[in-house]
Structure 1
Amino acid sequence: MSARMIGVIGGSGLYEVEGLENAAWTHVETPWGAPSDEILTGQLDGVPIAFLPRHGRGHPLDPGSVPYRANIAALKMLGVTDVFSVSAVGSFREAMAPGDFVVVDQFIDRTKGRAPSFFGPGCVAHVSLAHPTCPRLSDAAEAGASAAGATVHRGGTYLAMEGPQFSTLAESRMYRESWGADVIGMTNMPEARLAREAELCYASVAMVTDYDSWHPDPGEVEVTEILATAAANADKARAMVRALPELLGAQRAACPHGCDHALEHAILTVPSARDAQAVERLRTVAGRVLD
């Protein structure tokens, strides 16, 4: 058993959780630069927790300019063990209605121009991403969201698009009908990839704000409607987060799904061929196997 620290990546208002003690904003500098914002740390029911506004306070960062590597590295450097990603999405399924929560378990990555890995020339690694989310954390997210009064759908495929524009009608229909995606968003990739490389358990909670452009009513995505639905979901999202310490506990056993040992056999570059600067940079997220 080891001490647990919960990390939450989401909107700027998500950290306004009742009962947060010893709250303090912390600046973290990583080998990949600064994260989206300072990170709010504190304790909920005695369990350490860290909140990272994905787009920065006030939303100055669009999805393509979020420093995903720095965000995950900063959480790892603070001691986070379990990451909950909370984000707004559009829905491709009538049953996944605006206001519902979807606990995602699969991704299709359509992003471009974003650094997808901590590894690369000088130190090469290939992790398995067949099951990109942690069932143990997904159980807690589902239980917490349900207790908060949300309609929760367990399991779903998240189509990660580049943005910042929303889908064309043709794209929306293709993702829904041919590709079998359930929801669409702009931020969970490469976030989930990097969390796996950093050996962090990761769960994705997608809050449906609209039906994307495939749906005949209203027929197109309106930002004002998205913001209104997201605001209505904010209280439920905070209540879900508030429930996590009790659901997970302060002590953490080894992940039964292997998230915390994802790099066990992933690094292919032999020690003698590794670039010293690359290794030094990687120690922040992969020190367990590099040392």
Structure 2
Amino acid sequence: MLAIIGGSGLTQLAYLNVTHREVVRTPYGEPSGILNFGRIGCRDVVFIARHGHGHTIPPHLVNYRANVWSLARAAHAEGIVSVASVGGIRSDLKPGVVVVPHQILDYTWGRKHTYEEGGDTQVAHVDFTEPYDATLRQGLLAAATDAGELVVDGAVYATTQGPRLETAAEINCIERDGGDIVGMTGMPEASLARELDVPYAAICVVANWCAGRHDSANGIRFDAIEGLLQDTHARVRRIIEHFCVA
């Protein structure tokens, strides 16, 4: 079973042949929405919209623990692919580019970021040196090649708190820290999957230049983003389809 978490611009999978839907209760509260089970090609798939129906849940209020637990434990997913929209800092990561990141910077705060809550059990630490699963990453890159889609291999995903976008000075700081793309949902999703020992990888759509960069030098034009996301997420859907039939 492959789990797919859809972000901004990917609230449903049109080619998912849905067999059933489930409302899942978790020890960590309510997930963002129902789980949609079905098949793509020969692979069983479960899909959840990260921001809920109608994109009503802001990134800092997403119940990441419930989402990941529902996919890993209730749906018994053997891998999780996260789809997210990001801003581009690095010069080759311009709007419309699809990228499979390889590393993470975490600037979030106040989120429920672990399943470790103390109590009577011994605390378990997880290695997070490589935050994304290598096999799952390579599978996505191979699927992109099979689909004839150009994808950038590798970027450092800097996760900010949101829901506001960053200042130009903050982007300069993130760039000095080594960040290549900026989004609001990469953490703690990735580390929670690692705690539950479920392979996790991300495929990101660059929706805009970050603040202070290129045509976002004096502000970000939201009117230009929606159409770009629709076109680029169609490419992501093709990649996922090829990944599932490989």
> Which TM-score bucket, shorter chain as reference?
over 0.9
**C-alpha contact (below 8 Å) 1:14/1:234 kept by paired residues:** no
Query: CA separation in 1, counterparts of 2:33 and 2:79?
Result: 19
Q: Could you tell me how far 1:149 is from its partner in structure 2?
A: 4.2
Match of 1:284 in 2: none
Once the two structures are overlaid, the 10-residue window that deviates more, 235-244 or 67-76, is 235-244
1:107 counterpart = 2:122: no
Q: Could you tell me how far 1:23 is from its partner in structure 2?
A: 2.8
Q: How does 1:217-228 map to 2 (within 5 A)?
A: 217-219=215-217, 220-228=219-227
- Give the letter aligned to residue 235 of structure 1: A
- Give the letter aligned to residue 218 of structure 1: S
Match of 1:27 in 2: 23
What secondary structure sits across from 2:157 in the alignment? strand
Query: CA separation in 2, counterparts of 1:100 and 1:232?
Result: 11
Q: How does 1:136-155 map to 2 (within 5 A)?
A: 136-155=135-154
Query: CA separation in 1, counterparts of 2:224 and 2:134?
Result: 32
Query: CA separation in 1, counterparts of 2:183 and 2:152?
Result: 16
Q: Could you tell me how far 1:30 is from its partner in structure 2?
A: 0.5
Query: CA separation in 1, counterparts of 2:19 and 2:160?
Result: 34
Q: CA RMSD in A?
A: 1.5
Match of 1:42 in 2: 38
Q: How does 1:124-203 map to 2 (within 5 A)?
A: 124-176=123-175, 178-203=176-201
Unaligned runs of 5+ in 1: 248-291
Query: CA separation in 1, counterparts of 2:39 and 2:173?
Result: 44
1:121 counterpart = 2:118: yes
Q: Could you tell me how far 1:226 is from its partner in structure 2?
A: 2.3
Q: How does 1:235-250 map to 2 (within 5 A)?
A: 235-247=234-246
Q: Which of the residues 203, 206, 210 maps onto 2:204?
A: 206
1:70 counterpart = 2:69: no
Query: CA separation in 2, counterparts of 1:229 and 1:146?
Result: 21
Once the two structures are overlaid, the 10-residue window that deviates more, 65-74 or 117-126, is 117-126
Which TM-score applies when normalising by structure 1?
A: 0.79
Figure out how many residues of one structure are paired with residues of the other and give that number: 241
Query: CA separation in 1, counterparts of 2:130 and 2:195?
Result: 13
Greater CA radius of gyration, 1 or 2? 1
What secondary structure sits across from 2:187 in the alignment? helix
Q: Could you tell me how far 1:22 is from its partner in structure 2?
A: 4.3
**C-alpha contact (below 8 Å) 2:88/2:209 kept by paired residues:** yes
**Percent of residue pairs identical:** 32
What secondary structure sits across from 1:231 in the alignment? helix
- Give the letter aligned to residue 21 of structure 1: N
